[in-house]
Chains A and B, each alone.
Chain A
Amino acid sequence: MITLKNFFERAREGTLTAVRCGKCGELAIPPKEFCPACQQRAWVPVTLAGDGTIASYTVIRVAPARHAADAPYAIAVVTLREGVALIGRVVDIPLDALAIGLPVRFRPLVKENQTSVGFGPA
């Protein structure tokens, strides 16, 4: 079973991990106890390719206190090739080039030993 700790340890190494329900095939990030589609508990970890397209995005200009130094920064919900979606920071793409449908690729963002999800150019 994949825990949150496992997910982010693997993400830090550049690998995105989802879980697939062994009963109904539902794909999920993050891991959860029961399958929300069929209520079974038969998860199998699967490695995702890491590429996808922007489903929606925003540019945060008024930031929370602990992110104020980063502003402005972009956040997007990305639909991955396998069909599951993931939210992350968008980096190394000009803010005015962002668009729904834009192809992007997963990359880990590590700051003060905390790993979070990022996306860069495809």
Chain B
Amino acid sequence: MRRVAVIGVGVTKFGKHERTSAELFAEAARDALADAEIGPGAVQALYYGNVVGGETEKQLHMGPQAASVLGIPTIPTTRFETACASSHAAFRHAVMEIAAGVSDVVLVGGAERVLTVPTAESTEYFAYASDAIWEQPLGLTFPGVFALVARAHMAKYGTTEEQMAAVAVKNHRHGAMNPKAQFQKEITLEQVLGSAYVADPLKLYDCCPFTDGGAAVVLAAEEVARRRPRAVWVLGSAAASDSMLMQDKKDLARVPTTERAAAAAYRQAGLGPADVDVVELHDCFTIAEIVATEGLGLFEPGTGGFAAEKGWTTLGGKLPVNPSGGLKSKGHPIGATGAAQIAEITTQLRGEAGPRQVEGARVGLAHTLGGNLATVLVSLFGRE
């Protein structure tokens, strides 16, 4: 298998846009190609992530559409849908295509446009990623899914609403330093704790926003990447799945998909949690960050809330988590999120993250979760 590297990244401003998702992706891809110092003619395939475009944009078959809008309509392209992990799943398959020797340069990314519809409507479309027979008829929402996790975690480990709020405050502090973030402003613990319940015990400020945006990553084989000093190497990339249904989770306070994907990625890289310097992980809700830090082996099960409260995950702390601001503050355009996390890790490992730079970061981890904890991707990256 050939080694694979990230040679270019691009991310749009996250927030509300008056452009189609394909246009948003094309902007990110243009920036990623410029960053890679490579022309569009060098791209041999596009792996594309999008989730609710069929509902919000009445658009299917988005791979060829995105490639056409970018101006490279004849390359092979496929859309990936693994709920909120879509573009990270696309990334893993693109890595395998290059590693297998099929292509030398592949474009990966995704885009989402949801702010065209009201919150009740987007909440419903996102709920399509839970089970249509067993869960959707109950009115289960994604805040509801993670509220079930939060309640179980609080009961089992004593995690508090204040600890969850500390995650939101920290990620907004980081996001205030990210010019691409949807919310570039700090918030206080009191604001989080005083916000209205969305799905008890989760409040508005425990939840990431609905977001429009796009992200792109250019991947290349070792032969192409070797000549590029800013290349960031893919050290491992793994996926894990589990039953969709919340009722099938043996322990609602843990996320076995994260544990299994992390174990496989660490094994591929020959690394362990102690080797990781910077993490971008899936904080769609504050409790999601807490359980992810535990599932990735960064903290012991049950201590993720304590770690957040103690400031261990803040910039300058023991192990900075989500220096980009995370989904919470940077925003969560679901089809683009995995690629955007990988773009941030790449930027961090290059030492180009400006005021939010994790000093001396050499190994980075990206973690993306899809649906009812049913899909998780974990990838590890390193500098040469």
**A-side interface residues toward B, CB under 8 Å?**
4, 29-30, 36, 55-68, 70-71, 73, 75, 77, 85-89, 100, 114, 116-117
The CA of A55 and the CA of B139, in the complex, are separated in Å by 18
Q: Which of chain B's residues 191-205 have a Cβ closer than 8 Å to chain A? A: 196-202
Shortest Cβ distance from residue A104 to the other chain B in the assembled complex, whole angstroms: 14
Nearest 6 A/B pairs, CB to CB: A67-B139, A58-B147, A64-B124, A65-B120, A116-B137, A56-B152
The stretch that binds A, out of B85-93, B244-252, B348-356, is: B244-252
Q: Are B197 and A61 in contact (CB under 8 A)?
A: yes
Q: A61-B199, A87-B138, A87-B246 are in contact. Are A56 and B123 (CB under 8 A)?
A: no
Neighbour of B138 across the interface among A30, A59, A88, CB < 8 A: A88
Shortest Cβ distance from residue B251 to the other chain A in the assembled complex, whole angstroms: 9
Q: A86-B247, A87-B134, A116-B137 are in contact. Are A64 and B120 (CB under 8 A)?
A: yes
Q: A61-B199, A65-B124, A100-B155 are in contact. Are A75 and B247 (CB under 8 A)?
A: no
Neighbour of A77 across the interface among B119, B123, B246, CB < 8 A: B246
User: How many B residues are at the interface, by size bracket?
Assistant: 35 or more
Q: Are A64 and B123 in contact (CB under 8 A)?
A: yes
The CA of A67 and the CA of B138, in the complex, are separated in Å by 8
Shortest Cβ distance from residue B329 to the other chain A in the assembled complex, whole angstroms: 20
Q: A56-B148, A75-B138 are in contact. Are A63 and B120 (CB under 8 A)?
A: yes
The CA of A84 and the CA of B198, in the complex, are separated in Å by 28
Q: A58-B199, A62-B143, A100-B151 are in contact. Are A85 and B248 (CB under 8 A)?
A: yes
The CA of A62 and the CA of B308, in the complex, are separated in Å by 27
The CA of A75 and the CA of B147, in the complex, are separated in Å by 10
Q: Mark B112-150, 1 if CB is under 8 A from A, else 0.
A: 000000111101100100000111111111011001110
The CA of A67 and the CA of B130, in the complex, are separated in Å by 15
Residues of B near A57 (CB, < 8 A) are 148, 151
Neighbour of B123 across the interface among A63, A85, A116, CB < 8 A: A63
Residues of B near A70 (CB, < 8 A) are 139
Neighbour of A64 across the interface among B141, B155, B202, CB < 8 A: B141
Shortest Cβ distance from residue B291 to the other chain A in the assembled complex, whole angstroms: 13
Q: Are B139 and A77 in contact (CB under 8 A)?
A: no
Interface centre among B118, B197, B200 (most CB of A within 10 A): B200
Shortest Cβ distance from residue A50 to the other chain B in the assembled complex, whole angstroms: 15
Q: A56-B148, A62-B123, A66-B124 are in contact. Are A89 and B139 (CB under 8 A)?
A: yes
Q: Are A68 and B120 in contact (CB under 8 A)?
A: yes
The CA of A61 and the CA of B119, in the complex, are separated in Å by 13
Q: Are A59 and B197 in contact (CB under 8 A)?
A: yes
Shortest Cβ distance from residue A82 to the other chain B in the assembled complex, whole angstroms: 13
